[in-house]
Amino acid sequence: METLAPARRRALRAKAHHLHPVVSIGQHGLTPAVLHELDVNLLAHELIKVRVFSDLRDERDAMLQRICAALDATPVQHIGKLLVLWRQGPEKPAATVPRPKEAPPAAGAQRAREPGPGEARGKRRPAARPAHKTMAKSTPQARRPRTPTARTTARPPAAGAARPPAAKPPGDRARRRRGSS
């Protein structure tokens, strides 16, 4: 188990922020099956989150240390019931794919056209736009103003129910306050 530099740890914490836990450790604790799943996920992803369903922080700390010792991983973060682990992935050899040899052209095959004197070598002319397709509108359409609609009640008034009195226009109230002598 190696220790990480603070800058590296910060970068790994930032990467792990968006991850979801891939392994959950339940009531049976660290079983060989759980350790195997942790190892498989570390091989696949290098950086993983683990959820531990234990209420005791000391128990979770001990579990984190046991995981790191058993799998040669490095603890990145322990917040609540989430553990973040990192282990350097195995070095992948550079894949060298043999290129197929080009077959000599057949006797009757046509050769590619050589560029003319005014054409640049290796560049293609842009294809003409089809006449039937139109470009997107360059300016957005103006929104039509909404027409005010009268508000209606959800249900018609019950027969025999008293209607509320009609509202008086606000101008009458203002005149009364000023007092007309």
On whether residue 177 sits in a domain, the answer given is: no
**Is the pLDDT assigned to residue 173 strictly greater than 60?**
no
On whether residue 38 sits in a domain, the answer given is: yes
For residue range 89-118, list pLDDT tens digits in order.
Answer: 888 776 666 666 766 666 666 666 666 666
pLDDT of residue 177: 59
Predicted confidence band of residue 71 (pLDDT cuts 50, 70, 90): very high
**Is the pLDDT assigned to residue 154 strictly greater than 90?**
no
Alpha carbons 34 and 23: distance in angstroms, whole number: 8
On whether residue 117 sits in a domain, the answer given is: no
CATH for 34: 3.30.110.60
On whether residue 171 sits in a domain, the answer given is: no
On whether residue 67 sits in a domain, the answer given is: yes
User: Which DSSP string do the residues of 104-138 spell out, in sequence order?
Assistant: PPPTTPPPPPPP-TTSPTT--PPPPPPTT--PPPS
The structure tokens listed for 166 are 């009609």
Give the pLDDT mean for 144-170.
66
For residue range 21-70, list pLDDT tens digits in order.
Answer: 999 999 999 999 999 999 999 999 999 999 999 999 999 999 999 999 99
Domain enclosing residue 34, as ranges = 6-86
Across the strands, what pairs with 84?
Answer: 49, 77
On whether residue 108 sits in a domain, the answer given is: no
Counted domains in the chain: 1
In this structure, the number of other CB atoms found within 10 A of the CB of residue 66 comes to 13
CB proximity list for 4: less than 8 A, separation 6 or greater = 12, 74, 76, 86
pLDDT of residue 11: 95
pLDDT of residue 6: 94
Locate all alpha helices (DSSP H) within 20-99, ordered by sequence: 32-45, 57-71
On whether residue 1 sits in a domain, the answer given is: no
Q: Say if residues 63 and 29 touch (Cβ distance below 8 Å).
A: yes
On whether residue 133 sits in a domain, the answer given is: no
Q: How far is CA 153 from CA 52, 60, 150, 165, in A?
A: 55, 60, 10, 16
